Amino acid sequence: MLRKDARTRRKCGIIFWNLSYTYGKVWLFSFLFDLKNFLWYTLGMENLNFIIAKNLTNLRKKNKLTQLELANLLNYSDKAISKWENGESMPGVEVLYRISKIYNVSLDYIVGEKTNYKELMQTPLIKKRRCIITLLSVLAVWFAATIFYVAFGMFSSIKLWILFCWAVPASFIVWLIFDAIWNRHKLLFWLVSLIIWSFLICLSLQFFNYNIWQILFIGIPLQIGAILWDRLLK
């Protein structure tokens, strides 16, 4: 009876593993595709907001107007003007047209990019949104690990706690990707170092019977290589 139960649970585990692997691949590709579209839309709208914000700020200062004076001319509050110039919101087309008449410029001048792109990308709101997107992506790694752990615990006797260990280097890899895209490898050395050591620890825990010190010796030349590579980039 016990053997039959064990066989049944083993078969259920194999079936669940195959289904999880198939649907996991589908979920991963779907997540990456949605993330790409989300980043394209979000960052594209952010760029437009901050281009307009920077141009509005420069035009107001060039014409020696305060936010309150401009607000009175447009019949808006000075808080609304502040939000436009900080990129937190964007005025409508009609308001932009009225502003262009006040400053005697065209609409193309207001919505056109005339500012330094690097300076534009260092604004607090852009940094905040990038940080949130990075954290959500890292959270998705831990969410996937939790789903697989709970699912295997329900349908088989296998306790895949090691998934949470592998989620650590996977999180650093995700972080490294976003750092490469947005910060131009600003944290490259530290993230590569964390990936090396966390990967080796996971490797020793899963395949080498907790003989952690021997496998960690592999990390010494890898860490030296990371240090030399970082010096080369600088």
Do 84 and 56 form a contact (C-beta atoms < 8 A)?
yes
The answer to whether position 31 is within a domain reads yes
Q: What is the domain-level CATH number for residue 71?
A: 1.10.260.40
The answer to whether position 97 is within a domain reads yes
Taking each helix axis as running N to C, give the angle between helix 162-182 and helix 124-155, from 0 to 180 degrees, rounded to the nearest 10.
Answer: 160
pLDDT more than 90, % of the chain: 11
The answer to whether position 101 is within a domain reads yes
Q: pLDDT at position 172, please? A: 93
Q: pLDDT at position 171, please? A: 94
Mean pLDDT split into 10-residue runs, the chain, 234 residues: 50 52 52 52 58 85 88 89 84 87 85 57 70 90 88 69 89 89 78 91 77 78 86 74
Q: pLDDT at position 168, please? A: 93
Domain of 46? 1-119
Q: pLDDT at position 2, please? A: 42
The answer to whether position 88 is within a domain reads yes
Q: pLDDT at position 125, please? A: 67
Burial 163-199, CB ≥16 within 10 A → b, else e:
bebbbbbbbbbbbbebbeebeeeeebbebbbbbbbbb
- 3-state SS, residue 217: coil
Q: pLDDT at position 31, please? A: 56
Which tokens is 220 given? 């010494």
Q: pLDDT at position 117, please? A: 47
The answer to whether position 202 is within a domain reads no
- Indicate the DSSP class of residue 112: S
**Considering its fold, how many domains does the chain have in total?**
1
Q: pLDDT at position 142, please? A: 93
Q: pLDDT at position 107, please? A: 82
The answer to whether position 46 is within a domain reads yes
The answer to whether position 217 is within a domain reads no
The answer to whether position 162 is within a domain reads no
